[in-house]
Structure 1
Amino acid sequence: MKLAMVSASLSRTGGGVSAALQSLSRQLEKLGADVRVFGLMDAEWSNADRAQWTGAPAVALPTIGPRALGYSPGLTQALVDWKPDIVHSHGLWMHNSRSVLQWSHRTGRPYVISPHGMLDPWAVRNSRLKKYLVTKAYEAAHLREAAAFHALCEPEAAAIRAFGIKNPIHVVPNGVDLPKGGVGKAAPWKGRIPEEAKVMLFLGRIHPKKNLIAFISAWSRATSDRKGTASWRLIIAGWDQGGHEQELKSLVKTLGIEKTVVFTGPLFGDMKDSAFRNADAFVLPSKSEGVPVSVLEALSYGKPVLMTTACNLDIIFYFGAGKRLSLSPVEMQRDLEDFLKIGRSEIEIYANRAVKVVENLFLWPKVAKRMLDVYQCSISNRLVP
């Protein structure tokens, strides 16, 4: 099989989508597929991320006009020239959707869409005017003519159906690799918090949908002179989007909790590995997600996870590898207080369960095999058995 993957971003700006692209494309190559990844050029790809790419061979094409639209005049022809049997279109609301649609019209070949949570109600409401215009211009046709959709979880599949999609939907989660053995480097926050402190880590894109304003407010109340919680520190690591990080820093200062909340900036490679190894727990208070790669990564390192049901990984609660975090401010504080009071022995129990969940359900070789079945069935116009 000759497969093309298309995404608006190959760099760190793509967040979990970019990370998933690298791992999935690499595993599909191991299964014998001939894979090429196509994306859009940006400063991060040019400056650093091209050298750190670990997936199948990738091509970043130049764009013209606003970055928010992502118009690349050469993308359609690049796909035509490469002659894939099928295209996997990752994400929505950018001009690459139209390029994939044009490629399909010119070649008569099918494509599969992974919305990556972009049809969830919260995501659809965000930037509504842009999405309305894009839908009218080309996104409606891109959605309507897809051979199939790939949903990361059953709630996302339901959101896709609720949007009005009638095409076949295949549910396959994101995957993760187990970390390699060995001792990581010193924590990125070394010297900024007490050595004996326990660390709650957030690592990801710093964007309003991650709901960090609500979580920081709950953190302030939950750690204010309360027995059993004062030993914790919150580490916020990630890349800023739209100046939201400065909003969070201003809130931390206003609340007077600079000693318990530390911002590290983006972490990649060895620094990211060190962050996971040196954390005691992981938090994702999001309002909307597909299946977040960051949570799977935390679990692979044996870290208990505190997350909302919007992360679409309730199976983690079922297996006792994490705790539920409410979106309600009062209940969020209560959930956080309960979590911060757990001891080292209980953290170890969570850790063992976390790794077992990953090994049983989320390792990339298993996920890639299921995706290969989706592609083969989409080419032959049948459902996955």
Structure 2
Amino acid sequence: MKALHVVTLHTPTHDFGGPTRVALNLCRGLREAGESAALVALGDGFPGVLPRTVDGVPARLFQARHVLPRFEVSGITSPALLAAAPRLLRSADVVHVHLMRDLVTLPVAMMAARMGRPLVLQTHGMIDPTEKRVAKAVDVLGLRWVLGQADAVLHLTGSERELTEAVTAPAPMGPSYRLVNGVAPQPPRPQPRAGRPPTVLYCARVQEGKRPQDFVGAMPTVLAERPEARFVLAGPDTGALAEELLALARSLGVGHALEYAGALDHAGVMERLRSSDVFVLPSVKDAFSVSVLEALSVGLPVVVTRTSGLAPDVAAAGAGRLVDSAPEGPGAAENGARVGRAVLELLDPAAGEAASRAAWRLARDSFTLDAVVETLRGVYATACERVSAAPSPRTRYRRPAGRPPRVP
């Protein structure tokens, strides 16, 4: 089976983060399982010729054109990609689109549906009801329709499924399946050496939605008890916040303890995870963070908010600590202190070692890429059978209102 994964953007500094990383992981896992898989995306920020492989995955990248700059990643496209899309779609047995409201994945998904190609959509928590006028117009012009025509819609959590269904209501959405994110198994990281200063790591896109300011805000609380601790802020500065965060650390009197490492490649990410003692991601909306999964995979204890998608798994396994987070208003001033207290708990040697073991077991037992890929292969087979049973591509997208039972 040949699977074509379509995602919006790939850059040398991994600015688009999770969706591209998930697409690459799935492609790599499918290829290791004996299937054919390739990536199609926009490329931006590359000097010279765009690469033909990304992390060992065959890739067809098209130069990004910033046609609507104020919409950032939603406002980029490529006429060349859209022109080549029909040929690329016909070459695939199944089309897997990592869908968002944009000028790449949405039009390609609509083409695939109209061509009668088996279509799998994965929304990564990015499709939910909105009051924004432009987004609502996009929903009316095509998003609702393509969600209804999909042969499979993948969700990470029950909440994500309900929010995506609400976008299509009252019309039904295509058959829904749960597919968690997965990571490659890793050997556990070495336990901290005695006398080494502890390191607290944030490694994700540096943007407002991830709340890196709460990571910096935790520093005074931690350093008051562990003055030798060091903090590393890593990730592409997609929100142009890095200088503000460094200035915030200086204003709090803790600038000496903060390093901004910038964007890292995957090998650099894994190296930082292995050399750290606690991982912090204060984001309040991450559906199923790949960064957190990668931290768990090496046995690095995590601090995440209660509203993040992985919070129930982390809590049940004892793989870290959960914190409450106020996204705005007076209560937000306490976010940093809450994160700091959670970090201090995990810097206790006994608690940190227990959480480390639990983190590694959680990733190994519940979130290995092999298990995720096996589930995905089953979804692909069902999607292909669904299309084969349709009378013709012309009638494929004129389905009756009913749909098969949802797979939990």
TM-score (normalizing by structure 1): 0.86
Residue from 320, 323, 332 that aligns with 1:322: 320
C-alpha displacement at 1:77, in angstroms? 4.3
Q: Give the structure 2 partner of residue 189 of structure 1.
A: none
Q: Give the structure 1 partner of residue 400 of structure 2.
A: none
Separation (CA, whole Å) in 2 of partners of 1:338 and 1:384: 37
1:132 and 2:136 equivalent? yes
Q: Is the 8 A contact 1:119 1:159 kept in 2?
A: yes
For structure 1, the 5+ residue unaligned runs are: 184-194
TM-score (normalizing by structure 2): 0.81
Query: Which range moved further: 153-162 or 255-264?
Result: 153-162
1:261 and 2:282 equivalent? no
User: What do the CA deviations read for 1:81-100 (whole angstroms, capped 9, x no partner)?
Assistant: 23222211103011121122
1:104 and 2:113 equivalent? yes
Q: Give the structure 1 partner of residue 185 of structure 2.
A: 178
Q: Give the structure 1 partner of residue 200 of structure 2.
A: 200
Secondary structure in 1 matching 2:97: strand
Q: Is the 8 A contact 1:98 1:142 kept in 2?
A: no
Secondary structure in 1 matching 2:76: coil
Secondary structure in 2 matching 1:74: helix
Query: Which range moved further: 245-254 or 294-303?
Result: 245-254
Q: Is the 8 A contact 1:4 1:79 kept in 2?
A: no
C-alpha displacement at 1:48, in angstroms? 9.8
C-alpha displacement at 1:321, in angstroms? 0.7
Secondary structure in 1 matching 2:111: helix
Q: Give the structure 2 partner of residue 212 of structure 1.
A: 212
Q: Give the structure 2 partner of residue 378 of structure 1.
A: 383
Task: Work out the number of aligned pairs and report it.
Answer: 365
Q: Is the 8 A contact 1:302 1:351 kept in 2?
A: yes
Separation (CA, whole Å) in 2 of partners of 1:232 and 1:159: 40
Secondary structure in 2 matching 1:259: helix
C-alpha displacement at 1:199, in angstroms? 0.9
Q: Is the 8 A contact 2:125 2:287 kept in 1?
A: yes
Aligned-residue CA RMSD (Å): 2.6
* Residues 27-46 of structure 1 aligned to structure 2 (within 5 Å): 27-44=29-46, 46=47
* Residues 244-323 of structure 1 aligned to structure 2 (within 5 Å): 244-313=241-310, 314-323=312-321
Distance 1:61 1:334, change over 3 A: closer
Separation (CA, whole Å) in 2 of partners of 1:309 and 1:119: 21
Residue from 81, 87, 91 that aligns with 1:81: 87
C-alpha displacement at 1:215, in angstroms? 3.5
User: What do the CA deviations read for 1:317-366 (whole angstroms, capped 9, x no partner)?
Assistant: 10111110210343652453143144223211111111111111111111
C-alpha displacement at 1:239, in angstroms? 0.5
Distance 1:50 1:350, change over 3 A: farther
User: What do the CA deviations read for 1:207-253 (whole angstroms, capped 9, x no partner)?
Assistant: 11001223422433x1363x3x4332221101001312222222222
Which consecutive aligned stretches of 4+ in structure 1 deviate over 6 angstroms post-superposition?
none
User: What do the CA deviations read for 1:11-30 (whole angstroms, capped 9, x no partner)?
Assistant: 31221222221111011122
Q: Is the 8 A contact 2:188 2:299 kept in 1?
A: no
Query: Which range moved further: 230-239 or 287-296?
Result: 230-239
C-alpha displacement at 1:197, in angstroms? 1.7
Q: Is the 8 A contact 2:154 2:176 kept in 1?
A: yes
Query: Which range moved further: 207-216 or 374-383?
Result: 374-383
Secondary structure in 1 matching 2:101: coil
Separation (CA, whole Å) in 1 of partners of 2:137 and 2:248: 35
Separation (CA, whole Å) in 2 of partners of 1:18 and 1:263: 23
Query: Which range moved further: 322-331 or 347-356?
Result: 322-331
> Residue type of the partner of 1:59?
R
Query: Which range moved further: 330-339 or 200-209?
Result: 330-339
* Residues 47-58 of structure 1 aligned to structure 2 (within 5 Å): 50=51, 53-58=54-59
Separation (CA, whole Å) in 1 of partners of 2:280 and 2:204: 10
Q: Is the 8 A contact 2:29 2:370 kept in 1?
A: yes
Q: Is the 8 A contact 2:38 2:59 kept in 1?
A: yes
Residue from 152, 157, 178 that aligns with 2:156: 152
User: How many percent of aligned residue pairs carry the same amino acid?
Assistant: 25
Residue from 114, 122, 125 that aligns with 1:114: 122
Q: Give the structure 1 partner of residue 238 of structure 2.
A: 241
For structure 2, the 5+ residue unaligned runs are: 327-331, 387-403
Q: Give the structure 1 partner of residue 399 of structure 2.
A: none
Separation (CA, whole Å) in 1 of partners of 2:123 and 2:377: 18
> Residue type of the partner of 1:367?
V
